[in-house]
Amino acid sequence: MKSINTKLGISLFLFAFLLLVGTNDALAIKRVLIEQQTGAWCGWCPDGSVRMDQIIDQNPDRVIGVKWHNGDAMTITEQSQFAQTFGITGYPTGTVDRKPYNGRIALNRGDWAAAVNANLNSPNVADVSVQYDLDPTTKKITATVTGKALVNETRQLALNLYIIEDFCSGTGNQWDQRNYMSGNASFVGHPYYSKPDPVTNYQHMKVVRKVLGGVYGSTKNVPATLNNGQEFSETFTYNVEPSWNTDNLYVVGVIQAFVTSGQSLTDAQIINAIEVGRKEVLITEVNVAEPHKMIDPGQTMKRQIELQNPQDFQISVNLAISGTVPNGWELTFPSSVNIPAKGKVSVEATVVAPTGTPSFAEFKFTATPKKFAEYNSAPSAGGFTSLTSNTKFIYYTGSNGNSAAFTSTMNGMNEYIKDFAFVPFGADVIDAYKPAYFDVIFISSNLSGASGLFSGVSGASVATFNAVTQAINAGKKVVISSDYDLSYALSNNGTQQARDFYSFLGVEGGEYVFRRQFSNGQWGNQLFNFPVKGVNGDVISNGMSFTGNQYNQATNPYFVYLTDVLRVKAGSFGVPFLIMDDDQSRIGGIRFEKGESKYIYMSVGFEALVPADRAMLIDKIMKWFKTETAPDGPKVAVNTKTLDFGTVDTDQSKDMTITLSNTGDQALTVYSIVKTGDSKKAFTIVSGDNVKSVAAGESVDVLVKFEPKDADNYSGVITFTTDGKNEQTTSVNLSGRGNPAGSVAYGTTPNGALTMSMTPNPVVDNSQFNYTISSDESRNVRIYVMDLAGKVITELVNSSLSAGTYNMNFSATNYVSGTYFIMAEVDGSKAQIPVVITK
């Protein structure tokens, strides 16, 4: 950060809006342009922004960053052409001077820094300057981009002008930034770890609003060849869109190659770039040490807001409430404060809670430095929440139809609403207002806005699994509603933590049914009604008969996209209580009793039902929660009846866990845990075999090691003998396969770093090839197509990739009919899948 005296001196020199930026030949600077591909929907993209900003900070005036948005309110039409030209298949990816690095132009974010360093050291072949004017009255941009060849240049060059805007913000999912770092244990210490998912009121920076020369630039005034010292220029004009904020606009002038072969662009490298007109921004860093706190009704509480000034001069900051203070609550704090250079101050906010029924309040405020000189000013958002301690029932609301449907109905149920509070969902919220604090907990996930919570892919998934597990073990009453997470969790895209959570609940499945038209990868407008019925004699659903997806824009604007088909896990003692489609095998809801706890898992969400049916189901669930049950005694359960270690190299070993649980309400006595049938002595019980007792609702882990000696199939059995009321002898079958050291495994690399699949297979025309990288750090990945003779036909991937799921279209066009293998190599570990081409 420069000092204020230096900046004021520059301000006098660059008076008004006219900016002329350039250099002489001796001082000509080669700048590198990073073009990030991003989107508000992309949960990994904030990490791309952090990495790009770090690279820019490390290379002042040498690196420029811009962001092309996809699939949100900031998308421009040229982005699809950019993506198609440069092979953008995942987000966030980016190009560095649109120049190949390790054979690829579209680069994973883990490769940006190295590619930038390589390009910074490349020769500078052309200088660029921009004369820029933004008329404050007409809102018209006029900019002349001038290039000067520094060598004899035989390539056709082009000029371009990017219009960029900072601080783009709005409301809704077209603006709110998804954030998969939120609460993600792999990203502790990351700038976005403590931020919610999604981040509302997000300030999008470096947004490409317009490219006046198109993706490829303009050759209008540029000779086909250039001599050393020859200049060329073009003047671009554009009328600013009404929704753009002129205070936050600036431009990037670009010289780029424009080399074609026939109709194809063969060289589109960025030769040089310059950023002009961007104002330095005054910011305030805001921190609330404990953003979520319980408060007694009627109590006054002091909350501390810390404001930090990163500038090296004093600033004055205005504080203001954003939004409204909830009814019955009071909030006061100072309206302004001075913060010394590089200093921080603590501002005290006073909160007064209402009396009466439970209440939740979310207080939002902004801290905005006062503008002066040539500085711009960015508001920093802050906030904290309070929940009154008399809350007995809680619903964690999300941005999905289930939440809106439930809250609208519950608000009219006087018997229960007097004890209910609705709290916006987030990993930090569920950690502060733990479900175990309350008597009854409702939490939901839905494809329309909060998908992925229970499948493990959300940054808040692990925190949710832990919190719900604690609540059930503490004897609380829980309702979980999710339309599609179970199927996703059990697929290759789900996580092991999610599968473990469903095993703990006692829910299995994998099949789902579409409840909205879906074809050619797109959702249609047609909704499908479907019958939902109770189970005869069931304590909750006896006599119930509903019709799902009776959508009405005025009276019931809610519906489900699809529903998972549920199954009760053996030994869990779950009881089906909702049946779909008049088919007893299509279970839509299961209820469980575990010790003091009662809990429900439903794929028929509350949003699938009309208000009267929704109210009836909620009422029946709440009444079941109130009923007392007689002790069941100890009950034994294991997380699996088959422990398959898969394929393990003969010079390796693999550990897996059997979880022995007591799902009853009295202590379980364990008489013995023994291994039999392992004639080849490949399996070993490492730990847990000396347990003697398991408390009600608790579990213990038995660790088993598989260590194959030869390329062979192995089997064995571990038998638990207990005093379980449901069964006294419980067996788990062991299996595994030995794989010669250094050979190739199927589908998943032996080191577990990569999993891949092809759908459909055989391939007739086009199929979808998916692969997932499971790693906390970038891995060197090579994927290629090989024929039966072992000849490499096509290289698909050869790059360093970060954790994530990637996909590409696999076309049969370039292959003759027959059998091939897709081979994957990750850090020396190999896997393959066969692919059949049928034309």
pLDDT tens digits, residue range 700-747? 999 999 999 887 899 999 999 999 988 999 999 999 988 776 555 678
Banded pLDDT at 449 (limits 50, 70, 90): very low
Pairing assessment for the beta strands 126-134 and 140-149 based on DSSP bridges: antiparallel
- Mean pLDDT of the chain, nearest integer: 90
- Mean pLDDT is lowest, of 165-169, 554-558, 617-621, 749-753, for 749-753
Q: Which pLDDT score, from 0 to 100, does residue 25 have?
A: 53
The mean pLDDT of 443-450, rounded to a whole number, is 69
Which residues are CB-contacts of 735 (< 8 A; sequence separation ≥ 6)? 642, 643, 644, 645, 713, 714, 715
CA-wise closest residue to 714 among 678, 762, 760: 678
What fold is seen in the domain 282-386? Immunoglobulin-like (2.60.40)
The highest-confidence range among 89-93, 263-267, 444-448, by mean pLDDT, is 89-93
**What class has domain 391-626?**
alpha beta
Q: What is the CB-side half-sphere exposure of residue 311 using CA atoms within 13 A?
A: 22
Q: Which pLDDT score, from 0 to 100, does residue 207 have?
A: 98
Q: Is the pLDDT of residue 292 over 80?
A: yes
- CATH no., domain 745-837: 2.60.40.1930
Q: Is the pLDDT of residue 262 over 80?
A: no
Banded pLDDT at 88 (limits 50, 70, 90): very high
- Residue pLDDT, tens place only, 784-814: 999 988 899 999 999 988 888 899 999 998 8
The highest-confidence range among 330-339, 397-406, 516-525, by mean pLDDT, is 330-339
Q: Which residues of 200-224 are buried (b: 16+ CB within 10 A; e: fewer)?
A: bbbbbbbbbbbbbbebbbbbeebee
The mean pLDDT of 331-352, rounded to a whole number, is 96
The mean pLDDT of 552-573, rounded to a whole number, is 91
Q: Are the CB atoms for 738 and 711 separated by under 8 Å?
A: yes
Banded pLDDT at 250 (limits 50, 70, 90): very high
The mean pLDDT of 527-535, rounded to a whole number, is 97
The mean pLDDT of 38-62, rounded to a whole number, is 95
pLDDT above 90 coverage of the chain, percent? 68
Which residues are CB-contacts of 84 (< 8 A; sequence separation ≥ 6)? none
Domain ranges of the chain: 282-386, 391-626, 636-739, 745-837
**What class has domain 636-739?**
mainly beta
The mean pLDDT of 99-112, rounded to a whole number, is 94
Banded pLDDT at 231 (limits 50, 70, 90): very high
Banded pLDDT at 102 (limits 50, 70, 90): very high
Same topology, domains 391-626 and 636-739? Answer is no
Q: Are the CB atoms for 532 and 578 separated by under 8 Å?
A: yes
C-alpha of 219 from chain center: 41
Q: Is the pLDDT of residue 462 over 70?
A: yes
Q: Which pLDDT score, from 0 to 100, does residue 3 have?
A: 39
- Residue pLDDT, tens place only, 379-396: 888 899 999 999 999 999
Q: Which pLDDT score, from 0 to 100, does residue 650 have?
A: 84
The mean pLDDT of 505-524, rounded to a whole number, is 90
Q: Which residues of 157-183 are buried (b: 16+ CB within 10 A; e: fewer)?
A: bbbbbbbbbbbbbeeeeebbbbbbbbb
The mean pLDDT of 278-298, rounded to a whole number, is 91
Q: Is the pLDDT of residue 482 over 70?
A: yes
CA–CA–CA angle 496, 439, 475 (5° rounding) = 55
Q: Which pLDDT score, from 0 to 100, does residue 738 have?
A: 84
Q: Which pLDDT score, from 0 to 100, does residue 14 have?
A: 35
Q: Is the pLDDT of residue 268 over 70?
A: yes
Signed CA dihedral, 30, 163, 56, 773: sign only: negative
pLDDT above 70 coverage of the chain, percent? 94
- Residue pLDDT, tens place only, 422-441: 998 888 899 999 999 999 99
The mean pLDDT of 525-540, rounded to a whole number, is 96
Banded pLDDT at 778 (limits 50, 70, 90): confident
Beta strands in 197-314 (DSSP E): 207-211, 231-239, 249-257, 259-261, 264-267, 270-276, 281-282, 285-288, 292-295, 300-308
